[in-house]
Structure 1
């Protein structure tokens, strides 16, 4: 498999973490979002959305959109699962994951911030305030969606992660987004559950290996 990604892309971070947890072998090819590699005709032919990640399977099949890629991986490599088999539990996991993937990330995307600057004369400080605002809004919602860890799950396992004792899709989306929160100075004090989840995820070698600073295209 070939994963087209960018070291600082939080959507790529999610997929790298899922691949690593499932022990799926893959190589990486860099798509530099800052220099505009994503708009090159050969890459746009692979991913019409002109974003990352893109996963090319061994048979040449192309998959795009991080949550769709992770859904494919979960169906193809079910261990460990990223989503519960219980419909209600699955819906709760997806609610958290989608709060990141559809409420926070799209309005903080590089191209959206670029439009704020080019079309509406936003300064760098304006852009940072914009991103921090939407992260705080989304994190507040997620904090309320996450269960209270003073109650153990029905299984009796200690609830270290979002919904149990192993990381799932919600945890990967949260951890990747918190990377951006640190980058742009969002105070995590109001979100202790989110902070706990990030710390637990980064203690797992497979997730730590997926972190932006550990990628081959990260600046040294």
Structure 2
């Protein structure tokens, strides 16, 4: 531990105090992502994280109350990165519904493929961990609300379609992260887009029928 303290004192030489805490927090989050993403929740202990980050344990408690709080930070970081990827994909796709659907599904799955640890944090491990499960529920609710807002308001067909699409996309991402859908990304995207567009067409028709009734 003495070597850790010596390394830490050298590491922070010349770094303003106001930046040190933020940098140490980021180091802990990165270390937790590596441990959790590669070995699962059992690997995420205070000592293991600090050893991976090469920081004294007191720096852990400077930033987090426990490993649950740290795990929430890891999830939030990856969720924010995925949100950025999705936003760029939709912007580049333009207004066409099919292009936007294809770009969104493709880039979400590719984000997971590029680093399988992301899938473990965002989807695979979320099913058995209450911290991650709560974060995932909040993310699903946010996605569903966004889909409803993009539709024609809170009409029942729109709400139901948004609910089903959100659940289906979450399960699709989980299965892809678990490797249960094979390796052909294009094939998975093609099938997912076809089903999504069919649901959208059915919802549109149902709305039209409801609005045509006296």
Q: From the CA coordinates, give the structure whose radius of gyration is larger.
A: 2
Going by fraction, where is helix more abundant, 1 or 2?
2
Q: TM-score, normalised by structure 2?
A: 0.33
Which structure is higher in RCO with an 8 Å CA cutoff and minimum separation 6?
1
